[in-house]
Structure 1
Amino acid sequence: FVKTPPWRDAFCMETNDSKNRFTMSTARLHSVDYEIFGDVQGVFFRKYTEEQGRKLGVVGWVKNTPKGTVVGQVQGSPEKVAIMKNWLRNVGSPMSQIDEARFSNEKEVPSLEFTNF
């Protein structure tokens, strides 16, 4: 896979097998909702989620719920959303204990609905 330049906006470059031919394809954006269960409140889970989202370059939101879970939404490239989902499922904040991560409403979106995390 060829790393795309930061100035690319509507297109990305992809390699075609080992022949190194390039084709243009429209950039895709994904959105996914999440709910994280376990010891995820009072352990800076939201703070670390926002930091991780900014590091990855995804956008969205995160908040605590009255039932002790953390919910939110992530939007960005499919690859970065997948990385963020893995982080939410397996890493979290250093003091958190993640028992389960549920993802829903995963879909392709025409544009980002948020400007940051």
Structure 2
Amino acid sequence: MNKSLLFPRLSLYILLWKTVTMSTEQLLSVDYEVYGRVQGVFFRKYTQSEGKKLGLVGWVKNTSAGTVEGQLQGPATKVRQMQEWLKTTGSPQSRIIKADFSNEKEIENVEFKDFKVVH
């Protein structure tokens, strides 16, 4: 076989393998609520930005109790990364006390088109 054809073909196979393996990753849906100094510090904006960066969909909103709550949906590894971000990072001015996660379930398809801030 011609060596000049081998590497482009190998690259194509690797790309196809990555596409197939990424698309078979389990999708998760999980609800969250974050406690602490999370209102008035752009927490929702940063949450939306981080979620989009990770390729997740869902929503985020302030609650009357002074917390932030929402739902995440997407590939399991990305949902786990976002959960860690919600527990430990947040927005620069936020002070997170804790983040609770509930209603975690495997889903066939995501239910949202993007990641929204809900008012």
TM-score by length of 2: 0.79
Query: RMSD of the alignment, in Å?
Result: 2.0
Query: Which consecutive unaligned segments of at least 5 residues does structure 2 have?
Result: 1-13
Q: 1:12 aligns with which of 21, 25, 29?
A: 21
3-state SS in 1 of match to 2:21: strand
Distance 2:107 2:15 in 1: 20
Hey, what does 2:9 align to over in structure 1?
A: none
1:33, distance to aligned residue in structure 2 (A):
0.2
Q: Which runs of 5+ in 1 are unaligned?
A: 14-24
1:70 aligns with 2:68: yes
SS at match of 2:85: helix
1:31 counterpart = 2:40 = no
Structure (1 or 2) with the greater helix fraction? 2
* Number of positions where the alignment pairs a residue of Structure 1 with one of Structure 2: 101
Counterpart position of 1:101: 99
Give how far 1:28 is off: 1.3
State whether residues 4 and 12 of structure 1, in contact with CA within 8 Å, keep that contact through their aligned partners in structure 2.
Answer: no
In 2, Cα distance between the equivalents of 1:76 and 1:4?
21
Q: Hey, what's the Cα distance between the residues in 2 that align with 1:100 and 1:84?
A: 14
How many angstroms apart in 2 are the aligned matches of 1:26 and 1:57? 15
1:12 aligned partner, one-letter code: T
Rg comparison, structure with higher value? 2
> 1:27: how far off?
3.2
CA distance in 1, matches of 2:41, 2:58: 20
Partner residue in 2 for 1:87:
85
Q: Which aligned segments of 4 or more residues in structure 1 are displaced greater than 6 angstroms? A: none
Q: Which residue of 2 aligns with 1:115?
A: 113
Higher relative contact order (CA 8 A, sep 6+): 2
- Please state which structure has a larger fraction of its residues in strand: 1
Moved more, 79-88 or 25-34: 25-34
Among all aligned residue pairs of Structure 1 and Structure 2, give the percentage whose two residues are the same amino acid.
Answer: 57
Q: Distance in 2 between matches of 1:95 and 1:56?
A: 21
TM-score (normalizing by structure 1): 0.80
